[in-house]
Structure 1
Amino acid sequence: MLPENEIKRVLTVTAHPDDIDFGSAGTIAGLTDRGVEVTYLLVTDGDAGGNERTLDNGGMAELRRAEQTAAAKHVGVTDLRFLGYSDGTVVQSLDLRRDIARVIRQVRPDVVITHHPERNYQFIAPSHPDHRAVGGSTLDAVYPDARNPYAFPELLKDEGLEAWTVREVWLTSGPTPDHFVDITANVDRKIAALLSHQSQVAHVTGFEESVKGRFLEWGKRAGLPEGGYAEAFQIVPTG
């Protein structure tokens, strides 16, 4: 893994508003506290989700962008970018790979955090088709697209975006995590970020306790002292 002092910029690539907060908000809070620059890239606006059925899709998309912007502030992130793909219909494609590669070349991150592209049969909720499509497309954008100046040549020719090599990818919610981050000091900021997504969680009884219980279990798996919370990742080196 990269030493902490070599991680200066991080890009997260997720399918929907709230995905990064469920998977990694505690980790993000720790990164920004150390001065790491973090950018959120969201492939969709989450317009097909939520419990406010009086809103049309345009209204839901606007609401969820606002919720994600508010959530990001709790963990020190102000740079958010939305690609505007249709929620619920994302597939791995050359267009999506190009759009993610473009942002990688713009941001030039050391680490990219994204969804695991495989279905997790132990815990099905994070294995939404959009998640798996975004995870797979992001890995393809990291390698080979963003680092290859001949891939999507228009990015260099028309936009002046030089090739960039991401050094590590951290995958969330997969079946085989191999790295744990202690988020005990930031679990309340993670919860605050999640509670910003009222269109998604307001109806869930015992939401905060459920979330804390899940990450308390990861803390036990990570070998933290009793009462410690952790987030889990699978680390993919790209060298």
Structure 2
Amino acid sequence: MLPDAEVERVLVIAAHPDDADFASAGTVARWTREGIAVTYLLVTDGDAGGFDPDVPRADIPGIRRAEQTAAAAQAGVTDLRFLGYRDGTVEPTIGLRRDLARVIRQVRPDRVLTHSPDRNYAFIAPSHPDHRAVGAAAIDAVYPDARNPFAHPELLAEEGLAEWTVREMWLSGGPEANHASDVTDTLPAKLAALRAHQSQMTDPDGLTAMITEYLAANARDHGLPEGRYAELFQVISTA
């Protein structure tokens, strides 16, 4: 069954569990409150993450999927897809592009939000190699793969997935942000989403303070009034 064409749809493509929450949970929470349908697509299970050596490594993928599911619920997202790639080894391969194009054709989103493929030397944390690889593959999956009926022909021939054109992309973490998304009203939802990733944090209160300060600085630097909070994106037209 195809998604309801009357409902605006967003696909968030992230490399690891918690990436969407650090980058965009405030914006996503606002969208879902406005009636926009949001799907999360996680490329890896974050199996190289965590800090507790007593937790068996084989347990990490399940833990992190459960944490991401709980975090997504805080932002109003219940549709999550997991590809199961190995954490720390992602490359922008043809295979990954096909896997992303498949989900784009399934979800048929108006907008795709993902990582910037560009390294940000002013703030290196978002420029994890998995992030950049996923961002590069996602851009190629949006254009030209998902919209080209002759790209990955097995998607149409074997799975019945017709081409789909995404009209815009929102890239997070890159060096060229051109849009400040006001998340003041949904800041509590964002912080709750981040706190759901318990296996990844040793100082939840310190994380809350750091994120709040960072979002306030984003708002100030992009001309929002004092007391506001913002997530930053590079918005590009792909229609």
TM-score range, shorter chain: over 0.9
**Structure 1 spans left out of the alignment, 5+ residues:** 1-5
Counterpart residue number, 1:201: 201
Counterpart residue number, 1:223: 223
Counterpart residue number, 1:29: 29
Q: TM-score, normalised by structure 1?
A: 0.95
Q: Which amino acid counterpart does residue 47 of structure 2 have in structure 1?
A: D
- The separation in 2 between residues aligned to 1:170 and 1:234, in whole angstroms, is 6
Q: How does 1:48-197 map to 2 (within 5 A)?
A: 48-197=48-197
- The separation in 2 between residues aligned to 1:174 and 1:146, in whole angstroms, is 23
Q: Which amino acid counterpart does residue 74 of structure 1 have in structure 2?
A: Q
Q: Which amino acid counterpart does residue 117 of structure 1 have in structure 2?
A: P
- The separation in 2 between residues aligned to 1:96 and 1:137, in whole angstroms, is 7
**Structure 2 spans left out of the alignment, 5+ residues:** 1-5
Percentage of pairs with the same residue:
59
Question: Are the aligned partners of 2:27 and 2:183 in contact in 1 as well (CA < 8 Å)?
Answer: yes
Question: Are the aligned partners of 1:126 and 1:173 in contact in 2 as well (CA < 8 Å)?
Answer: yes
Q: What is the CA distance between 1:189 and its match in structure 2?
A: 0.7
Question: Are the aligned partners of 1:7 and 1:110 in contact in 2 as well (CA < 8 Å)?
Answer: no
Output one character per residue of 1:85-127: Cα deviation in whole Å (capped at 9) or x when no partner: 0000000100000000000000000000000001000000110
Output one character per residue of 1:161-213: Cα deviation in whole Å (capped at 9) or x when no partner: 00000000000011010011110001111000000001112346611101100
Counterpart residue number, 1:3: none
Q: TM-score, normalised by structure 2?
A: 0.95
Q: What is the CA distance between 1:41 and its match in structure 2?
A: 0.1
- The separation in 2 between residues aligned to 1:34 and 1:173, in whole angstroms, is 24
Kindly tell me the number of residue pairs found equivalent between the two proteins. Answer: 234
Question: Are the aligned partners of 2:17 and 2:65 in contact in 1 as well (CA < 8 Å)?
Answer: yes
Question: Are the aligned partners of 1:7 and 1:111 in contact in 2 as well (CA < 8 Å)?
Answer: no
Counterpart residue number, 2:3: none
CA RMSD of aligned residues (A): 1.2
Q: Which runs of at least 4 in structure 1 moved beyond 4 Å after TM superposition? A: none
- Residue 149 of structure 1 aligns to a residue whose secondary structure is coil
Q: Which amino acid counterpart does residue 113 of structure 2 have in structure 1?
A: I
